[in-house]
Amino acid sequence: MNLLQATSLLIVLAGVFGSINYFWLRLPPSIGVLVVALAASVGAMLLDLVVPSLGLADSLGGAVREIAFSKALLEGMLGLLLFAGALHVSLSSLREQAIVILLMATLGVGLSTAVVGFGFSWITGMPLLVALVFGALISPTDPVAVMGVLREAELQKTLETKIAGESLFNDGVGYVVYLVLVGLAFPSDGHHAEGLGGAVGLFLQEALGGAVLGVVLGWLVFQVMKRIDDYALEVLITLGLAFGGYELAVALHVSAPIMAVCAGLLIGDVGTKYGMSKQTRRYVDAFWRLIDEILNAVLFLLLGIEVFSIVLEWDFLIAGALSVGLALLARLAAVAVPIALLRPFRSFSRGVIPIMTWGGLKGGISVALALALPENEWKPLILTATYVVVVFSIIVQGLTVGKVAMRLGRAPELPKQEQP
């Protein structure tokens, strides 16, 4: 199956499954596509058990592996998704909450990685360093999966902005932590720094390098766009920034996800205010919202059919179920500790901790990172546990986070400076 055939098949299936959801299930679009895709995949497996001669599981599993989910997301879709997400987040709002977002995206990711890593090592007997790799890949949250549900809860815009900002940056930071830990856990893999000193150097190179590259490229594109008044060309330029910037970051060995976020924030705020006409802003906004919706439908479709890639053994599934609790505990620590540190200086609305804990959905990047691990004896267990956590997070948490938010925080603001 070539690239065009695979892309065509995915878009057709996303459209079909999305229509099934629209007419019958009425779930949020992305979650609905995931549910239908997962149900179709499990149905094919069950049919294969009843009629083994059909060979459906082997045929479909081979087709799924041929698509290479990890490569499709990490080297293609992720840059566009992060750029699109950042484009619609207010830079001024993020600036007001910079300390909170910074703590949650750094200290929070570190705490989450440690809690899951130590817990998973204790549960499974896995070497601690390898378990920490699992902790790192399961720590990033997926802002896209929850934002549509949160909007329906009629919360203040500030809470949506904080969740999106924290999630965008902890995606990038989590990816860098994952690379560092993979280098320590699997040094023979050859493309990661070895030793503690090399790990720190790699972290600084990836994180700071990605941020600097994103700001520089975003500023250069802004300088070009403010001298142009052609909405079609300007939309094309933003697309070139997302694609080209991501690939340049990969070539320079800096964090491509952080680059995409920083460039998207700059264009979405400074670029739209000072570099675009009203017509151009309308077209750029509509274009990237559409790209966001389409790619998310395809991404959740891929997540649903990726069940063919995991090992469906009871020991692995039980470890995955226990990992759900670990992930929630780790998310609680990642949210509660930074808030506790800042409480003497800032006021927080009631319900912030449970809303952000339950609303910290895991997504496709976790599964992609698990698939991208070097081949080793623990990879099947890590992949299965990751898949169980992600599916639970998206379906169970994703379908209930709106109700939790409405009950606990009808109009919360996270966080708010105390008034003198």
347-406 pLDDT tens trace: 777 788 898 899 889 988 899 999 999 999 999 999 999 999 999 999 999 888 878 877
Tokens of 419: 């008034």
Q: Provide the 8-state DSSP code for 418.
A: P
Domain hosting 299: range is 76-408
Secondary-structure percent of the chain, ordered helix, strand, coil, rounded to 5: 80, 0, 20
Instruction: Check which CATH number belongs to the domain holding 314 and give it.
Output: 1.20.1530.20
Give the separation between CA 411 and CA 227, rounded to whole angstroms.
41
83 lies in a domain?
yes
pLDDT at 194: 56
Distance separating the N- and C-terminal Cα atoms of the chain: 64
Tokens of 13: 């299936």
Give the separation between CA 361 and CA 390, rounded to whole angstroms.
8
180 lies in a domain?
yes
| Nearest of 264, 263, 256, 260 to residue 285 by alpha carbon | 264
Tokens of 414: 């996270």
pLDDT at 417: 44
Given a cut of 70, is residue 419 above it in pLDDT? no
CA 174 to chain CA centroid, nearest Å: 10
- Identify the band that residue 152 occupies on the pLDDT scale cut at 50, 70 and 90: low
Give the separation between CA 179 and CA 170, rounded to whole angstroms.
14
5 lies in a domain?
no
Higher per-residue confidence, 62 vs 369:
369
Q: Model-level pTM?
A: 0.92
Tell me the per-residue pLDDT of 66-116, one tens digit each, with 9 for 90 and over.
888 998 898 889 899 999 989 988 888 888 888 888 999 999 999 999 999
Four-residue CA torsion sign, 39, 42, 48, 50: negative
pLDDT at 239: 97
371 lies in a domain?
yes
Tokens of 194: 């070895």
Given a cut of 90, is residue 57 above it in pLDDT? no
414 lies in a domain?
no
- Identify the band that residue 145 occupies on the pLDDT scale cut at 50, 70 and 90: low
pLDDT at 398: 87
pLDDT at 345: 86
Q: Which helix (H) or strand (E) holds 23?
A: none
Considering the chain, what is the average pLDDT of its residues?
88
36 lies in a domain?
no
How much of the chain exceeds pLDDT 90, in percent? 59
29 lies in a domain?
no
pLDDT at 415: 47
Give the separation between CA 3 and CA 216, rounded to whole angstroms.
32
How much of the chain exceeds pLDDT 70, in percent? 90
276 lies in a domain?
yes
The total number of structural domains that make up the chain: 1
Tokens of 314: 């009871």
- Identify the band that residue 301 occupies on the pLDDT scale cut at 50, 70 and 90: very high
Give the separation between CA 144 and CA 14, rounded to whole angstroms.
17
- Identify the band that residue 3 occupies on the pLDDT scale cut at 50, 70 and 90: confident
pLDDT at 158: 63
pLDDT at 226: 93
